Structure 1
Amino acid sequence: MTAPLVNNSNAGSDWAHHLRERLAQASLLDRERETGDHILNPDLGPYAKWDGPPRDAAVLIGLVETREGPNVVLTQRTGHLNSHAGQIALPGGKIDPQDKGPVEAALREAEEEIGLQPKRVELLGSLAPYLTGSGYRVVPVVGAITEITAFRPNPEEVEDIFEVPLAFLMNPANHQKLSRDWEGRQRYFYAMPFGERYIWGVTAGIIRSFYETVYR
């Protein structure tokens, strides 16, 4: 699914150039495109558990180049967190008042959670905001990690850091549409099991949005 690599040193590779172009095109064509949990669950509304305006957040889709192609950096959250404990997530969180926008917030959170320095991320673009059932408006920021680096998990938030091939995540055959009972009705969501890792919910929804934006 991904373009062949021409080098393994920086974001000048073919795949990064391809993603940058596609994301730039999408930002012009899909400004009004809406993504979120409610797309699969139109009867629940965009904010199933939130009555007020959405809270702004951002995540980083960080891409690491390998000989086989780019990988996406994901985390497993620690089991003691108040929300989404133990789940698979992209580095990210709420946009704080001091942040200048979603890009700065995503890079700040990535540094806090996995020790990734902002200077090592080459920005490729961003996706349409993703509306979550818990009341967040999440902007996914896409960036190529330009230097080989040893990630460092923040033990307060991150139990583990791992990578999944982008080719696997961008293959629609790996996108399962599942459902669970939620308050007496079926709530649908995407899941992308990868070995022992169970990627689902918002994280899988954002990955699906990435696929629909760039590869579909």
Structure 2
Amino acid sequence: MSELPDWLTPLLTRLRDTEAGDFTRLPTPDGEGQRRSAVLVLFGEQPGSGPDVLVLQRAATMRNHAGQPAFPGGAVDPTDADTIACALREAEEEVGLDPSTVEVVATLPTLWIPVSNFLVTPVVGWWRSPHPVGPADPAEVARVERLPIRDLVDPANRLRLRHPSGWIGPAFRIHDMLVWGFTAGVLSTLLELGGWAVEWPTDRVEELPAPGAATVG
């Protein structure tokens, strides 16, 4: 294992004791009838902007999750050895990530997404050798961004969104994207666990924009 940056150590230390309840109020089913999937939560660092995390924005023409920012990831294939292999394969297919440049440092508890009935395992990686990435297939991925931690924790970029179902969750308005749902929930918890989060106006609640409008800041 290569030497990890000091700023990542507190997060990894706290992740050892996390449970699904630290990330969601929804109990994780036993796996009967759900499909397994994985996402890659890839932390990196850039000169001048500091630590960051990689996200992509789904193409607006996709049938599911159109225009929504997300971590690279998808369903586990029969050929995947495990959820780590799935997360790395999906990132390679979606944004052209070279898996050999990533050091997997943790896996989070498996979380349930009711709307798709997926059991998702977030895989945390350290991007030890960053390289250019971008949409591998523009029909699926519109753009790829590295979001600086300093921008994610900026109170001006944080809010909560109310879904038509009544659900209210964390969100980020950053880099002309509105990050919400599963991705924002995981990010919000990781910012807290990493000791990066600062106080922000949690009473700033907005309605979820209509489909097609939710990605414009």
One fold, TM greater than 0.5? yes
Unaligned 5+ segments in structure 1 are 1-9
1:1-216 maps to which residues of 2 (within 5 A)? 12-23=4-15, 26=16, 29-31=17-19, 33=21, 35-36=23-24, 39=25, 53-67=33-47, 68-134=49-115, 135-155=117-137, 156-170=139-153, 174-182=157-165, 186-215=166-195
Q: Given the superposition, is the C-alpha separation of residues 167 and 75 from structure 1 closer, same or farther in structure 2, using an over 3 Å criterion?
A: same
TM-score by length of 1: 0.77
**Contact kept? 1:34, 1:130, Cα under 8 Å:** no
Measure the CA separation in 2 of the matches of 1:172 and 1:141.
27
- What is aligned with 2:208? none
Paired letter, 1:159: A
**SS at 1:210 equivalent:** helix
RMSD: 2.6
Q: Given the superposition, is the C-alpha separation of residues 148 and 18 from structure 1 closer, same or farther in structure 2, using an over 3 Å criterion?
A: same
| Structure with greater helix share of residues | 1
Q: Once the two structures are superposed, what CA deviation does each residue of 1:139-192 show, in whole Å capped at 9, x if it has no partner? A: 11111111130103122311101111123335677542221323xxx1222211
Measure the CA separation in 2 of the matches of 1:106 and 1:87.
18
- What is aligned with 2:206? none
Aligned length: 191
